[in-house]
């Protein structure tokens, strides 16, 4: 099983989930659970649209069960690409389909690497030979020697490095894992793909209390710029970050952060990629989190909510500017995946977006986000609940040993609290959410986007009871 301590199931049964409806799941014993994690932050429309989506899949199966996007198109991929482009902000108009989030991140990094090659950036500046042809355009061969250099280096991009943030999760395939900022899941696979540097995420909770928001933003931006300078700005192709970082617990950006990140990327001619595998398709109350924070990325990676996880499909969305060097007569993005743009997956994603529009899912999240936050805020009275952060239908609660000093739990205490108590207690109480200590210990709450006040109350009531017992346990 994925990311699972298998030994635990020597002594306990594997939970087997057999059906779902709305925000609820049912296990093989008939017990019901409120799914406060929407599968894996991903079943945005909830579990009740199987008939309608199944019909769309069946219709597509009958018409054309599979065909490829390698040199061919088919109607569903064309329609879905157009739909995604119309929902994506600004000139993010070009769509490349893949099978999930890791592949999307992997593809984005490859796209960024090849972008600079395709744009014709000179790979070995300074090697230009005497007698260079006057007026040659950047990247054009000026002499025979130069032509050989350009050709020989076409497969060795000089801009290949990426910058991401500490504790950020970006997937598990080797490229995506290399961008990942979680030491524990990187360590068994090192050495990873060079060279990624990780800078601070936007965790405000453990910053000095006297620091202003503007100072915090400046600290983050200075650090980002210093990292790029240290790596060599003309070796960096990608800055890859989530609009709101999930791992570590819903780190929202401070005021001015994204404007500053965009400016730094522009200053050093680096592509900015927004990892919206979680935040797109309504989670933050917008089709894309980039719109919510006016991020203006060059690339967006998405997956989960694109189909509400009724299908395995992801997408890389790029601006016209990023794709421009790939549009020449003999150029191409040298990348492909058999199942990228699979017609049945596309049909499902199209139906999901149709349902989201019809049911007013985005409007619902915006209308209810304040109520969700204020309901969850009741939990701040519990001794171990230190912080509540997030936006839209995307929240985390940070658990602390001492609320006044914000002291966190030790590794052993986390083990006792999260794995020894909370995960099982929540599950026993009929709720699925995630107790996570990839950073500081947090509870992640991210229900289907069809949740309403009844579900907010139930989540808060179950968490209230379990966390109160958890507080007592840690004081004992």
Which chain residues interact with ligand PLP by CB under 6 A?
40, 100-102, 105, 169-171, 242, 246, 275, 277-278, 303
CA distances from 360 to 86, 201, 367, 456 (A): 17, 32, 10, 19
45, 247, 172, 16: CA torsion to nearest 10: -50
Structure tokens that stand for 12 in this block:
């306990």
Phi-psi map region of 301: left, alpha, beta (phi>0 left; psi -120 to 50 alpha): beta
Q: How far is the CB of 472 from ligand PLP (least distance, A)?
A: 33
State the virtual CA torsion across 142, 148, 149, 153 in degrees, nearest 10: 130
Nearest to 42 by CA among 251, 277, 355: 277
Q: Which residue is nearest to ligand PLP (CB)?
A: 101
H-helix or E-strand containing 62?
Answer: helix 50-63
Least separation in angstroms between residue 72's CB and ligand PLP is 25
| CB of residue 235 to ligand PLP, shortest distance in Å | 24
Cα–Cα dist 135/120, whole Å: 15
Q: Are 221 and 228 in contact (CB under 8 A)?
A: no
Q: For ligand PLP, which is the closer residue by CB, 171 or 390?
A: 171
Spatial distance between the Cα atoms of 86 and 306, rounded to a whole number of angstroms: 14
Question: How many Å apart are CA 72 and CA 75, to the nearest integer?
Answer: 10
**How are beta strands 32-35 and 24-27 bridged, if at all?**
antiparallel
Closest CB to ligand PLP among residues 150, 244: 244
Shortest distance (Å) from residue 385 CB to ligand PLP: 24
Residue 33 Cβ vs ligand PLP, minimum distance, rounded to whole Å? 20
CB nearer ligand PLP, residue 44 or residue 460: 44
Vertex 117 angle, CA 298 and 158, to 5°: 100
Q: Could you give the angle at the alpha carbon of 48 between the alpha carbons of 42 and 51, nearest 5°? A: 110
237-273 in b/e form (b: 16+ CB < 10 A) is bbbbbbbbbbbbbbbbbbebbbebbbebbeebebbbb
Give the span between the Cα atoms of 33 and 17, in whole angstroms: 10
By C-beta, is 341 or 470 nearer to ligand PLP? 341
Q: Cβ of residue 120: shortest distance to ligand PLP, in angstroms?
A: 31
- Name the minimum Å distance from CB 245 to ligand PLP: 8
The dihedrals phi and psi of 176, each to the nearest 5 degrees, come to -65, -40
Q: Which two tokens stand for residue 171?
A: 């997937």
Q: How far is the CB of 314 from ligand PLP (least distance, A)?
A: 6
Q: Select 117 or 241, whichever has its Cβ closest to ligand PLP.
A: 241
Nearer to ligand PLP, 102 or 217 (CB): 102
Which CB atom, from 169 or from 281, has the smaller least distance to ligand PLP?
Answer: 169
Question: What is the nearest approach in angstroms of ligand PLP to the Cβ of residue 273?
Answer: 11
Q: Is 164 exposed, middle or buried (0-12, 13-18, 19+ CB in 10 A)?
A: buried
Nearer to ligand PLP, 80 or 315 (CB): 315
- Return d(Cα 271, Cα 301) in angstroms, integer: 13
**By C-beta, is 243 or 343 nearer to ligand PLP?**
243
Shorter beta-carbon distance to ligand PLP: residue 109 or 372:
109
Instruction: Provide the minimum distance between the beta carbon of 284 and ligand PLP in the complex, in angstroms, as a whole number.
Output: 13
Least CB distance from residue 390 to ligand PLP, whole Å?
14
Minimum separation from the CB atom of position 413 to ligand PLP (A): 26
Nearer to ligand PLP, 102 or 423 (CB): 102
Q: Output 25 or 277, the one with its CB closest to ligand PLP.
A: 277
How far is 24 from 18, CA to CA, in rounded Å?
A: 11
462: CB partners within 8 A, 6+ apart:
34, 426, 429, 430, 431
Q: Distance (Å, rounded) from C-alpha 108 to C-alpha 96? A: 10
């Amino acid at each position: 099983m994925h990311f699972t301590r298998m030994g635990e199931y020597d002594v306990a049964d594997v939970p087997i989930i057999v059906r779902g409806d709305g925000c609820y799941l049912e296990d093989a014993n008939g017990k019901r659970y409120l799914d406060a994690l929407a599968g894996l932050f991903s079943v945005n429309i909830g579990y009740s649209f199987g008939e309608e989506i199944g019909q769309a899949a069946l219709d597509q199966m009958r018409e054309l069960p599979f065909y490829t996007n390698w040199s061919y198109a088919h109607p569903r991929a064309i329609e879905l690409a157009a739909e995604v482009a119309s929902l994506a902000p600004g000139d993010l108009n070009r769509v490349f389909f893949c099978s999930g989030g890791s592949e999307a991140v992997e593809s984005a990094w490859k796209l960024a690497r090849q972008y600079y090659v395709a744009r014709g950036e000179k790979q070995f500046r300074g090697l230009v030979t005497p007698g260079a042809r006057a007026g040659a355009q950047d990247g054009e061969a000026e002499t025979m020697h130069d032509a050989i250099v350009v050709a020989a280096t076409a497969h060795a991009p000089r801009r290949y490095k990426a910058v991401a943030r500490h504790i950020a999760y970006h997937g598990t395939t080797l490229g995506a894992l290399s961008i990942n900022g979680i030491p524990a899941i990187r360590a068994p696979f090192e050495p990873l793909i060079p060279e990624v540097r990780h800078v601070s995420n936007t965790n405000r909770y453990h910053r000095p209390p006297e620091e202003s928001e503007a100072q915090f933003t400046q600290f983050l931006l200075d650090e980002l710029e210093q990292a790029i300078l240290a790596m060599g700005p003309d070796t960096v192709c990608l800055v890859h970050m989530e609009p709101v970082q999930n791992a570590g617990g819903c780190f929202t950006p401070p005021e001015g952060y994204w404007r500053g990140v965009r400016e730094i990327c522009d200053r050093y001619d680096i592509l900015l990629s927004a990892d919206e595998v979680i935040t797109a398709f309504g989670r933050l109350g917008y089709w894309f989190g980039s719109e919510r924070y006016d991020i203006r990325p060059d690339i967006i990676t998405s997956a989960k909510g694109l189909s509400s996880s009724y299908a395995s499909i992801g997408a890389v969305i790029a601006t016209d500017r990023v794709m421009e060097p790939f549009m020449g007569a003999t150029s191409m993005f040298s990348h492909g995946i058999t199942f990228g743009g699979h017609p049945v997956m596309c049909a499902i994603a199209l139906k999901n977006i149709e349902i989201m529009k019809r049911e007013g899912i985005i409007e619902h999240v915006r209308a209810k986000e304040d109520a969700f936050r204020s309901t969850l805020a009741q939990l701040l009275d519990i001794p171990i609940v230190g912080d509540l952060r997030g936006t839209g239908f995307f929240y985390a609660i940070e658990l602390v040993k001492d609320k006044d000093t914000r002291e966190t739990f030790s590794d052993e205490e986390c083990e006792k609290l999260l794995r020894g108590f909370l995960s099982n207690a929540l599950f026993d109480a009929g709720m699925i959410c995630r107790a996570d200590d990839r950073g500081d210990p947090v509870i992640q709450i991210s229900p289907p986007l069809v949740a309403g006040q009844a579900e907010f109350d139930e989540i808060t009531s179950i968490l209230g009871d379990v966390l109160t017992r958890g507080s007592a346990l840690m004081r004992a």
